[in-house]
Amino acid sequence: MSETGIHRVVIAGTGNVASRLGHAFKAASIQIIEVYGRNTAKAKALATSLGTSYVTEISAINVEADLYVLAVSDDAIAILSQMLPPLHGLVVHTSASAPLPVGSFSHTGVLYPLQTMLSHRNIEFSEVPLFIETNSDEQTKRLCSFAGQLSAKVIVADQLTRMRYHLAAVFASNFTNHLYSIAFELLAVNGLTPELLHPLILETALKAVEGNPEDSQTGPAIRGDVKTIKTHLDLLDKRPDYQQLYENFTGLIKNYYSKRNE
Amino acid sequence: MSETGIHRVVIAGTGNVASRLGHAFKAASIQIIEVYGRNTAKAKALATSLGTSYVTEISAINVEADLYVLAVSDDAIAILSQMLPPLHGLVVHTSASAPLPVGSFSHTGVLYPLQTMLSHRNIEFSEVPLFIETNSDEQTKRLCSFAGQLSAKVIVADQLTRMRYHLAAVFASNFTNHLYSIAFELLAVNGLTPELLHPLILETALKAVEGNPEDSQTGPAIRGDVKTIKTHLDLLDKRPDYQQLYENFTGLIKNYYSKRNE
């Protein structure tokens, strides 16, 4: 039992975020009374792994929960909110961008975790920054206290602030992950071993969090190594799209450090 | 004493790679008999930290080493090689791109570590892939055995193969690091806290090495979340250069996964 008055939780959604949040709730001994999902197989699978029951009709949702977590896509949030029956509990979504949910409920808010989540990957949830917002000071206090059971980093923040963090996260995580995919592809198409990049990928991430990334840039672009840059563009001659990305980055890195050294 | 016949090493260069290789040699109890560097202060500092002596004139270099490691820029390799006095030892450089060193010596080769190196950052050298090449089978065998004292991953590879790994490394490490810098900048200019991205950066790297990055792409581009993409481009309205990069990645990610799902 927490001191927040939030004891009974319903999770709406069966995707990556619903699954990881559900497991974080479970690990924190928070009572999940139900999972809602339109897809029976997915709703059943998540409910089973969380040791709870499920519904597939929004009209049948348990109306006695203290917290409803809408872990669904931005577009689905608005639709789902309108379809919910009248509720006394706090209704939150988990999106960076969407406005507060609106429907037949008076307590509304956001619980946005700044982390990349895959349903099958366990993560250290206590380190995940949780951004919260609600429509009243009282609910913010409750949600803050509730979120504190999940993570050591709870931040009260408005929609614009969440969106700014999300935008930064897209650069630091989504685009970065695609660079890994490109690097792996460039090796695999030549019969080479992508796994040899693993120590490099980990060290690059580690040095960024243990220091400051702008102080630890290496490579041909910051060195102004025109010969190597030319060689690399030649090696990419069958991939004009990757040549363009290479030139885009090389230009950005040069500008960044020439401005910095002015 | 190793079985390689390589007991006495001279390091030429005082930068990041020279320093990290030097410390890896020292940790493996390989005898560094001298550091060569044009800059007295840098040569002295590296020699002191490695517990050895230094010279600043190439003509004064110790001619009795078994191995000379030219850990200098690609352009400096050719110049330095030509300036070296006649040597019996094996002369290697540490570059991905440069051809074998040529000068008054008959044994020549390459020892290229696939890792981002900063002189002040300790790294787990036993996991760093070491790419080697020489101008004879006998020397390759010697260098292979020598490199095995430093790392568990020694790969015999020609210049083209090294360049392909280096190109992939530029995407996976140099460009990635600059994405971190951009993400940090986008938060800092708005008075927000870049450090909140740390768990995200580490998890993104970890999931790429523990799984396959193309299977773990998340974010608005792969979801086709047009509304969020539009919001992000609006937030970047003062940075057309970052808007362009955002659009470049969004297009690449869409194409990558539409092709994959065909």
Distance between CA atoms of residues A170 and A174, nearest Å: 5
The three-point CA angle A103-A108-A114 to 5° equals 120
Q: What is the pLDDT, as a whole number, of residue B119? A: 87
Please indicate, yes or no, if residue B236 is contained in any of the structural domains: yes
Residue of B nearest to A128 (CA): B199
**Token pair of A178, please?**
């695609």
Q: What is the pLDDT, as a whole number, of residue B120? A: 87
Looking at the structure, tell me whether residues A202 and A145 fall in a common domain: no
**Token pair of A70, please?**
């809408």
Looking at the structure, tell me whether residues B220 and B117 fall in a common domain: no
What is chain B written as a DSSP string? Answer: --SSS--EEEEE--SHHHHHHHHHHHHTT-EEEEEE-SSHHHHHHHHHHHT--EES-GGGS-TT-SEEEE-S-HHHHHHHHHHSPPBSSEEEE--SSSPPP-SSBS-EEEEEE-S---TT----GGGS-EEEEESSHHHHHHHHHHHTTT-S-EEE--HHHHHHHHHHHIIIIIIHHHHHHHHHHHHHTTT--GGGGHHHHHHHHHHHHHS-GGGS--SHHHHT-HHHHHHHHHHTTT-HHHHHHHHHHHHHHHHHHHHHT-
**What are the two backbone dihedrals, phi and then psi, of residue A155, each rounded to the nearest 5 degrees?**
-125, 125
- The three-state DSSP-derived secondary structure of A43-87 is HHHHHHHHCCCEECCHHHCCCCCCEEEECCCHHHHHHHHHHCCCE
Please indicate, yes or no, if residue A36 is contained in any of the structural domains: yes
Residues of chain A with pLDDT under 70: 1-4, 261-262
- CA A226, A229, A234, A237 torsion: positive or negative? negative
**A156 — contact with chain B (CB < 8 Å)?**
no
Phi/psi region, residue B145 (left: phi>0; alpha: psi -120 to 50; beta: rest), is alpha
Q: What is the pLDDT, as a whole number, of residue B100? A: 96
Per-residue pLDDT of B44-81, as tens digits, reads 999 999 999 999 999 999 999 999 999 999 999 999 99
Number of domains in chain B: 2
Give the residue from B104, B207, B99 showing the smallest Cα distance to B163.
B99
Q: What is the pLDDT, as a whole number, of residue B161? A: 98
User: What distance in Å separates residue B124's CA from the closest CA in chain A?
Assistant: 9
This complex has an ipTM of 0.95
**Whole-Å CA distances, A186 to A79, A139, A183:** 42, 51, 5
From the number of C-beta atoms within 10 Å of its C-beta (0-12, 13-18, 19+), residue A41 rates as exposed
Looking at the structure, tell me whether residues B235 and B133 fall in a common domain: no
Domain termination residue (choose one: A156, A188, A213):
A156
**B44 — contact with chain A (CB < 8 Å)?**
no
Of B153, B196, B217, the CB nearest to A114: B196
Q: What is the pLDDT, as a whole number, of residue B67? A: 98
The pTM (predicted TM-score) of the whole model is 0.95
CATH number (domain holding residue A84): 3.40.50.720
Q: What is the pLDDT, as a whole number, of residue B116? A: 92
**Whole-Å CA distances, A151 to A146, B53, B67:** 9, 52, 53
Distance between CA atoms of residues B73 and A240, nearest Å: 28
Number of H helices, E strands in chain A: 10, 8
CA A214 to chain centre: 24
The alpha-helical segments, DSSP class H, found in B6-104 are 16-27, 40-50, 74-83
Please indicate, yes or no, if residue B3 is contained in any of the structural domains: no
Looking at the structure, tell me whether residues B133 and B168 fall in a common domain: no
Residue whose pair of structure tokens reads 């037949």 in the numeric block: A104
Residue whose pair of structure tokens reads 């969380």 in the numeric block: A50
Distance between CA atoms of residues B94 and B132, nearest Å: 9
Q: What is the pLDDT, as a whole number, of residue A260? A: 74
Q: Which of B115, B126, B150, B197 to mutate to test the interface with A (most CBs of A within 10 A)?
A: B197
Domain span including residue A29 = 8-156
Looking at the structure, tell me whether residues B149 and B170 fall in a common domain: no
**A79 Cβ neighbours under 8 A, 6+ residues apart:** none
**Token pair of B27, please?**
């940790």
Q: What is the pLDDT, as a whole number, of residue A215? A: 94
Please indicate, yes or no, if residue B2 is contained in any of the structural domains: no
The A residues from 187 to 246 touching B (CB cutoff 8 Å) are: 187, 190, 192, 194, 196-214, 216-223, 225, 227-228, 231-232, 235-236, 241-242, 244-246
CATH number (domain holding residue A244): 1.10.1040.20
Distance between CA atoms of residues A135 and A144, nearest Å: 13
Distance between CA atoms of residues B201 and B44, nearest Å: 37
The A residues from 45 to 64 touching B (CB cutoff 8 Å) are: none
Give the residue from B156, B106, B111, B109 showing the smallest Cα distance to B134.
B109
Looking at the structure, tell me whether residues B216 and B145 fall in a common domain: no
Strand partners, B108: B91
Phi/psi region, residue A149 (left: phi>0; alpha: psi -120 to 50; beta: rest), is alpha
Domain termination residue (choose one: A114, A140, A156):
A156
Looking at the structure, tell me whether residues A239 and A110 fall in a common domain: no
- Residue A255 to residue B241, Cβ atoms within 8 A: yes
**What are the two backbone dihedrals, phi and then psi, of residue A92, each rounded to the nearest 5 degrees?**
-125, 150
Looking at the structure, tell me whether residues B41 and B64 fall in a common domain: yes
Q: What is the pLDDT, as a whole number, of residue B83? A: 97
**What are the two backbone dihedrals, phi and then psi, of residue B160, each rounded to the nearest 5 degrees?**
-65, -40
Give the residue from B93, B99, B105 showing the smallest Cα distance to B158.
B99
**Token pair of A123, please?**
């993560």
Per-residue pLDDT of A186-209, as tens digits, reads 999 999 999 999 999 999 999 999
Looking at the structure, tell me whether residues B81 and B31 fall in a common domain: yes
**A31 Cβ neighbours under 8 A, 6+ residues apart:** A7, A8, A9
Please indicate, yes or no, if residue B132 is contained in any of the structural domains: yes
Of A213, A219, A220, the CB nearest to B184: A213
Q: Which of B249, B253, B255, B260 to mutate to test the interface with A (most CBs of A within 10 A)?
A: B249
Q: What is the pLDDT, as a whole number, of residue A2? A: 42
Looking at the structure, tell me whether residues A74 and A18 fall in a common domain: yes
Looking at the structure, tell me whether residues A57 and A117 fall in a common domain: yes
Please indicate, yes or no, if residue A2 is contained in any of the structural domains: no
Per-residue confidence of chain B (262 residues) as pLDDT tens digits? Answer: 445 689 999 999 999 999 999 999 999 999 999 999 999 999 999 999 999 999 999 999 999 999 999 999 999 999 999 999 999 999 999 999 999 999 999 999 999 999 999 888 999 999 999 999 999 999 999 999 999 999 999 999 999 999 999 999 999 999 999 999 999 999 999 999 999 999 999 999 999 999 999 999 999 999 999 999 999 999 999 999 999 999 999 999 999 999 876 6
CB neighbours of residue B83 within 10 Å: 13
Domain termination residue (choose one: B132, B157, B182):
B157
**A167 — contact with chain B (CB < 8 Å)?**
yes
**Token pair of B167, please?**
């190109």
Distance between CA atoms of residues A249 and B30, nearest Å: 39
Looking at the structure, tell me whether residues B145 and B169 fall in a common domain: no
**What are the two backbone dihedrals, phi and then psi, of residue A31, each rounded to the nearest 5 degrees?**
-80, 115
Of A123, A171, A232, the CB nearest to B183: A171
Strand partners, A213: none
